[in-house]
Structure 1
Amino acid sequence: MLNFPYEKEQHDSLGDHRQMTSKVIISSNGTIEVYTHTATAKAWEGFHGRVVVTLRDGDGNFVYQTKARQYGVDGVKLGKPSRNDSFIETIPSEKLSLISKCDIKHDRSKEELSINQLVEWARAIRDLIPENQPAGAPV
């Protein structure tokens, strides 16, 4: 279990002068605060970066994950090449005592998967499994 208040900060270089730094603060009441700095040093090209925080138990099992947040910056010559953002979520109280590890992930993904996309992919995969094929269907 984490000692509260728990704090973790992580800096990631996302390649080609793109950077994100996030600080996570988890309070004993279940509040999780995330402060993120997104920046680029590219003159003519900005980017969109995403941050998500995943909390796990001592065995590495999933306990809680924040909603992914995406932030964009402009190239240095085009506008604002850096920005600061924050968000707050509440971890369900019954999960708080299970948390032993906090992972911060930064990436350049532009899209967030919706539950509908995941269900659609799961159905497509299910239909490829031979046991799920109608009798007499080619394998």
Structure 2
Amino acid sequence: MSLPREPKGAPHYVYSSMEELTADIRRWRQDHPVRYRYGRIKARTQEVWSKRHVPLFVRQRARRGYSERDLWSFDAYICGVIGNGVRDLRAIKHGYPAHMTPEEWDAVLGRISDPLLDYAEHHLDLSEGYEVMTARHDAAREALHPFAENLGSMWD
């Protein structure tokens, strides 16, 4: 539901109570019944459309490993898949590469999974500032280097 837009240059109104806000919303609904009804129909259509495509995305992901929805933020999707996989490998590992000790291998897996999962969860979060988002991106890129170097050792 959207409230009527104010003309350009008009000051924004701050409601002093929830009752005042709900009364204003009710008044707007009565003054604009067609716009209100259209908004409800549009919202419901988008909800149905989204639910209708979920099975399609599930089938796509099962068939090819990703769906069209995943392509929207493919970087975050890939970081989530690799980060979760490496985190699970770290938790259930039974072996480690011959040139490392178990502690070194655990540290390498941690250096890979932690930044990738952080990026996957917060890649578009600007609330902490652009510098933090950039640092998160750089840390995820750096985490891919040890992943690539130890690609043949990613087994259980």
Q: TM-score, normalization: structure 1? A: 0.20
Q: Greater relative contact order (Cα 8 A, min sep 6): structure 1 or 2?
A: 1
Return the index of the structure with the highest Cα Rg: 2
Structure with the bigger percentage of helix? 2
